[in-house]
Structure 1
């Protein structure tokens, strides 16, 4: 079993039990149910590999992330709506306040 999506997709206690019983051969986890904590039973198992959310740690991805951050910063500084804004209601409220 490999989980690189979201931690809560996997019930880690159930996974640990299935791994101990041999119902699942092994697991590779890049995300955890309650990050940053890792279920202690999983850490005791030799058939589990855990990494600290590095699934996207490629050079190309990091460059793209930096470029996206820069594009958002520049847009905001120039008074334009940032392309990937997470709280558009705040931006819109501030824009209405300028009118």
Structure 2
């Protein structure tokens, strides 16, 4: 026969495991939710898009120059450029030394 003390320890162990599991699930879900929220598209001004593009293009070439920038996002809603901001900016860079 199993002693009362052993049963209490088993119940306590199960409760602790459940608490840890539920806490982990809650924390993990919040982490995923926060990551997803941080990846939500936001409207950018042309200058903000250029700055982001320059940082990324420097990984490719230190000498790259901006050739052209075009905005496009008519199907995404938002302000559609009325405030000078857009969701999508196409930036074209060129490096004369790589031609």
TM-score (norm 2): 0.22
Higher strand share: 2
Structure number with higher relative contact order (C-alpha < 8 Å, ≥ 6 residues apart): 2
Larger Rg: 2
Higher helix share: 2
